[in-house]
């Protein structure tokens, strides 16, 4: 039985560790496969890096747009307040009251200037 076991081990050894086998072709294919795996891994890495950069740019742009919209709301509110103040300052009732306080009479037709 021991010689039978020795025979098995020697045949396994010859099949896997034989120095007489041709290894040139399989070595070339393994080199190609390793290169392909390395290139695929590098491609996935750089694609992931690009997508992370694009996501960061998207978040930055969204933040800047949000800030710009907030500033626009503030300017629109200021514009509305200034229009109300302009309407109050140029109202006929206010101007007539000020004219009466300063003893001013009605303007002559040549003194009237119409603004757009």
pLDDT digits (tens), the chain, 116 positions = 555 555 555 665 555 555 555 555 666 778 889 999 999 999 999 999 999 999 999 999 999 999 999 999 999 999 999 999 999 999 999 988 998 899 888 888 898 999 88
CB 67 within 8 A of CB 74: no
C-alpha 31: how far from its chain's center?
Answer: 40
Q: Give the whole-angstrom CA distance, residue 82 versus residue 105.
A: 29
Domain range annotation of the chain = 27-103
- This prediction has a pTM of 0.51
- Asked if 88 contacts 94 with a C-beta cutoff of 8 angstroms, the reply is yes
């Amino acid at each position: 039985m021991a010689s039978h076991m020795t025979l098995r081990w020697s045949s396994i050894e010859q099949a896997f560790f034989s120095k007489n086998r041709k290894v040139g072709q399989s070595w070339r294919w393994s080199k190609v496969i390793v290169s392909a795996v390395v290139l695929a891994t590098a491609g996935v890495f750089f694609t992931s890096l690009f997508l992370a950069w694009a996501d960061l740019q998207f978040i930055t742009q969204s933040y800047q747009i949000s800030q710009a919209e907030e500033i626009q709301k503030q300017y629109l509110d200021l514009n509305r307040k200034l229009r109300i103040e302009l309407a109050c300052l140029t109202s006929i009732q206010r101007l007539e009251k000020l004219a009466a306080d300063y003893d001013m009479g009605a303007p002559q037709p040549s003194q009237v200037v119409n603004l757009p």
